[in-house]
Amino acid sequence: MQDEVLDQMIPEKGIMRKELAISNRKRMELLWTLGAKILKNTEETTKANLKYNAYISVLHCSMAFANLWKYHIEKHIEENKANPDFKLDQELEIQRQVLPLIHQLYVYFLLGTTKLSVIFREKIEADENEKKLSDFERFITTFIYSDIRGYNSNEYIRRFIKKVRHPHLVDMTLFKLVSYYLFRSKTKQTDYQYENLIGDLIVSARKLKRYKKANIIRDLRLRRTEDRGKILKRDHKDD
């Protein structure tokens, strides 16, 4: 009986492959993010420099994607600016203004693990000898390493501050440092470290006299005290 049933079954022709309509931009994003996820979950390997080279590859592909996305936004604006009713989507406007910061956080989300801390540190140290390296590339690795609280990360930030020149990256660096100061710092010692880093960054970026740093730190402390006072007052009012 079973043999007769089997004889009557239509032979299977295999599973049909479904072709997905996907843009080149989306395909590129899927490729580099998949590579990042694989790297993050790769265990120890005996092959020398495998993880380091994989990180360099993922990093460069991610930067290429970020630059293409920026071009896509700017092209979208250029093509529509003659339209009096055109208004850039708020999300795209934010991405346009702080793309380096968003991209750094995205790469951190994909690769942010202490298992790769040695790789990040090696990349930062190798970058110190590269005079033609972009501020964007230095920014990404330096702050991924800091975000995972890598050993001696503030020292690497201090070195980065001495090299960063692009005004947009200076702003993004300031944002990261202020966020650390307000939300990460829990002791007077770390307060002092972040205050000095912020002061050094502003003095260097604006080419100020060194004595101006003390004024910057004083204003920074005052603003933080005022902001915390407002938060406490608001929380008390909500109660």
- Which of 163, 186, 209 corresponds to the end of one domain? 163
DSSP states along 172-213: HHHHHHHHIIIII--SHHHHHHHHHHHHHHHHHHHT--TTHH
Q: What are φ and ψ of residue 177, in 5° steps?
A: -65, -40
Same domain, 28 and 123: yes
Same domain, 197 and 137: no
Q: What is the mean pLDDT of residues 72-82?
A: 88
In a domain, residue 5? The reply is: no
Q: How far apart are CA 228 and CA 234, in angstroms?
A: 10
Q: How many CA atoms lie within 13 A of 211 on its CB side?
A: 0
Q: What is the mean pLDDT of residues 81-85?
A: 86
Q: What is the residue-averaged pLDDT of the chain? A: 88
Is the pLDDT at 14 greater than 80? The verdict is no
Q: Is residue 217 within 8 Å of 196, Cβ to Cβ? A: yes
Least confident residue range of 76-90, 114-128, 139-153 = 76-90
Provide the number of structural domains found in the chain. Answer: 2
Same domain, 34 and 141: yes
Same domain, 231 and 158: no
pLDDT confidence of residue 27: 87
In a domain, residue 18? The reply is: no
- Which of 115, 140, 163 corresponds to the end of one domain? 163
Q: What is the mean pLDDT of residues 10-27?
A: 66
- Which of 144, 163, 182 corresponds to the end of one domain? 163
Same domain, 35 and 149: yes
In a domain, residue 14? The reply is: no
**178 vs 1, higher pLDDT:** 178
pLDDT confidence of residue 11: 58
In a domain, residue 200? The reply is: yes
Domain with 116 in it: 24-42+49-163
Same domain, 172 and 159: no
In a domain, residue 131? The reply is: yes
In a domain, residue 92? The reply is: yes
Cβ neighbours of residue 55 closer than 8 Å, sequence gap 6 or more: 39, 111, 116, 119, 120, 123
Same domain, 90 and 54: yes
Is the pLDDT at 68 greater than 50? The verdict is yes
Same domain, 76 and 149: yes
Same domain, 30 and 114: yes
Model confidence, pTM: 0.84
CA-nearest of 32, 63, 54, 205 to 140 is 63
Same domain, 212 and 235: yes
pLDDT in tens, 151-181: 999 999 999 999 999 999 999 999 999 999 9
Q: How confident is the model at residue 6 (pLDDT cuts 50, 70, 90)?
A: very low
Q: How far apart are CA 216 and CA 214, in angstroms?
A: 5
Same domain, 142 and 34: yes
Same domain, 62 and 121: yes
Q: How many CA atoms lie within 13 A of 190 on its CB side?
A: 14
Q: How confident is the model at residue 224 (pLDDT cuts 50, 70, 90)?
A: confident
Is the pLDDT at 192 greater than 90? The verdict is yes
Residue type, 106: Y
| Pure H helices in the chain | 2-8, 24-40, 50-80, 90-111, 117-127, 135-147, 153-163, 167-179, 188-206, 212-238
pLDDT confidence of residue 4: 56
